[in-house]
Structure 1
């Protein structure tokens, strides 16, 4: 990859077409009586090509004299080797923990037990990798009572900046989530590492990022909405969530063109920031709602969980949420954009069928159990959720028929 300040730009129709109108303004959140507003964010966020080689320097600046590093076996042979060399050069001893593949309680406790058995706890736990490595690393740091440092290898989700982790069963079904008292002390995003990953991961991150806006908007219309902090959404969170979606709409297609041209330019940098920083702060401080409820629910279908990324399931969740709200014009706009960048827009693109009654019933049941479904400003029942899934599927099939599925086919090849 090479750096360039001039990246490929999307065509005028993609930027200025009728389906790309300005986002509808938010209502101002009004907190429930006695409920606090809480804003949380990482202590330090750094994004640049090559920054992973400066990990040791940044740990020194924050006063961390030792660490544990959670990463996959693959990462240890790739970007992890650069990080570990940086720690060695800085004179920071590191305990290496090899991630087993699933952010489950069993995986978390296994590594926490290893570190508890040592004579002294590390000053920090570094999590290097994708979303599940990041979430597991934050959980391990919490159990040891030390700050977390996150070095994401993908821009596929908004886990790096948040004070929350999603916990899965060993088989990969979403079980619960944990919320911590502190966000990560440091988030280092090496855009050269992120850009080396297949485009599908960046696209999935855009799906996760886009949900931030629509969920925060739903929360802003519900005075009783509660964030993961157990607090009322903040104006700052809502504003960041809105900026997140505006950035994805404006730069998403250009960023994908930059990836294809092997350029790390402003468009790509902005999308990485939107997927990682804006989305992470936006969902925590603006609130979650139905989009993530549907996404978490899709993981109960084993073949869906095994084949598709979290951001792809979140994208389908957004479309169902907009159907639930009856926001038809925006649903069509989002569906068209997703079709252009390669996100799924109908059930067939996540290996489901509207005729698969058993799977859809399982998804609806799991979605009803999602605690933040109560943040929706409309009535939520099993019947309305089922109807919303089918409505989103019909619209997605209509848009796919009109515009084709070339982008989806390309990144899933």
Structure 2
């Protein structure tokens, strides 16, 4: 099986980068459909349109419907066709970006993504997470290519609610831990093939950056500052984590997240928060050294990531509920099987219970 490495064609990060959007979009087409939440359009729309006008290109901004569902993708695809748009742009968080990528895929059009927070690694991946109409997880949509351009304005990301960047740290925390499991099992990476040494090195760099700069970045963000540590964490949450997961693979942490995401009890928690708890579950399944478990827990607590089911919103974690989550996480279509050892729903159930106890007591 061939080694495969995926990445966006271009990644741009820095303060004020959103003003360059028109210049980066113009080479791909003369008319773009921009998808964003209404608040983002009101806050940034005029400035972004001025950039397109300077390039002699057109931009139509359309409010996002709220969920990355099949119905929303179909609606926006039809709108893009009606308006003759030849470029799709997603401006916002993970669900906006995933929707833009899916719309572009169905049209065969180039896609540019502009994250407004460093809340997940969705921006750089050739993947969209599709949800049901009630907001619960449905499936992964694997795409043939990563975005053409990822433009991350760090002034905008740093001004977002701090919880979003912290959730991004939770998502990024899983990158290397899942990558090394996939390396040990020889699992295929997202979209097929096996991992490269380059991807595994980036996954490791993601983990090291979180440990080195995570607490410093959280303090700076709480104080309303954009520091080198914040820049590093934004890159780790977005670029390093995105390339790392996609070109190395996923394992137990994301399988647990997916199962939790299907539970309405956990609806108030963010993707990265559920993934972070999934990291604890995976470390329990692996019987990770106490030193490593303490290191991971120390970071999670220091930046405010949830370490228990109750912190995710599951106040009454009955045995029946945990059994259901464990069975769901072990579905053949999910990524639990990428661990380098056999796993059963009963074993995952016990690991969830143990992770919850460890997260609440240490």
Name the TM tier (shorter chain).
Answer: over 0.9
Q: Sort the Cα spacing of 1:355 and 1:299 in 2 relative to 1 into closer, same or farther, 3 A.
A: closer
Residue 94 of structure 2 aligns with which residue? 131
My pick for the range that moved more, 274-283 or 78-87, is 78-87
Indicate if the aligned counterparts of 1:71 and 1:80 stay in contact, CA closer than 8 A.
no
- CA–CA separation in structure 2 for the residues paired with 1:205 and 1:263: 18
- CA–CA separation in structure 2 for the residues paired with 1:301 and 1:182: 31
Residue 78 of structure 1 aligns with which residue? 43
Q: Give the 3-state SS of the residue equivalent to 2:51 in structure 1.
A: helix
Residue 389 of structure 1 aligns with which residue? 352
Residue 302 of structure 2 aligns with which residue? 340
Q: Sort the Cα spacing of 1:85 and 1:248 in 2 relative to 1 into closer, same or farther, 3 A.
A: same
- CA–CA separation in structure 1 for the residues paired with 2:325 and 2:317: 13
Q: Sort the Cα spacing of 1:91 and 1:226 in 2 relative to 1 into closer, same or farther, 3 A.
A: same
Residue 65 of structure 1 aligns with which residue? 30
Residue 89 of structure 1 aligns with which residue? 54
* 1:105 and 2:66 aligned: no
Indicate if the aligned counterparts of 1:43 and 1:186 stay in contact, CA closer than 8 A.
yes
* 1:241 and 2:203 aligned: yes
- CA–CA separation in structure 1 for the residues paired with 2:314 and 2:144: 38
For residues 63-106 of structure 1, give each alpha carbon's deviation from its aligned partner in whole angstroms, at most 9, with x where no partner exists.
Answer: 43221101111111113333233223322112222111101111
Indicate if the aligned counterparts of 1:87 and 1:94 stay in contact, CA closer than 8 A.
yes
1:378 is matched with which residue: 337, 341, 346? 341
Map 1:3-402 onto structure 2 (within 5 A).
35-60=1-26, 62-118=27-83, 120=84, 122-223=85-186, 225-305=187-267, 307-329=268-290, 330-353=292-315, 355-369=317-331, 370-399=333-362
Please provide the CA RMSD for this pair.
Answer: 1.4
Structure 1 unaligned regions, length at least 5 = 1-34, 400-413
Q: Give the 3-state SS of the residue equivalent to 2:335 in structure 1.
A: helix
Q: TM-score normalised to the size of structure 2?
A: 0.96
Q: Give the 3-state SS of the residue equivalent to 1:344 in structure 2.
A: coil
Q: CA deviation at 1:353?
A: 4.5
Residue 27 of structure 1 aligns with which residue? none
Q: Give the 3-state SS of the residue equivalent to 1:171 in structure 2.
A: coil
Q: Give the 3-state SS of the residue equivalent to 2:262 in structure 1.
A: coil
Q: Give the 3-state SS of the residue equivalent to 2:123 in structure 1.
A: coil
Residue 11 of structure 1 aligns with which residue? none
- CA–CA separation in structure 1 for the residues paired with 2:253 and 2:122: 16
* Greater relative contact order structure (CA < 8 Å, 6+ sep): 1
Q: TM-score normalised to the size of structure 1?
A: 0.85
Q: CA deviation at 1:386?
A: 0.3
Q: CA deviation at 1:261?
A: 2.6
How many residues end up aligned between the 2 structures?
Answer: 360
- CA–CA separation in structure 1 for the residues paired with 2:222 and 2:315: 32
- CA–CA separation in structure 1 for the residues paired with 2:199 and 2:308: 30
- CA–CA separation in structure 1 for the residues paired with 2:249 and 2:296: 20
Indicate if the aligned counterparts of 2:45 and 2:61 stay in contact, CA closer than 8 A.
no
- CA–CA separation in structure 1 for the residues paired with 2:217 and 2:317: 36
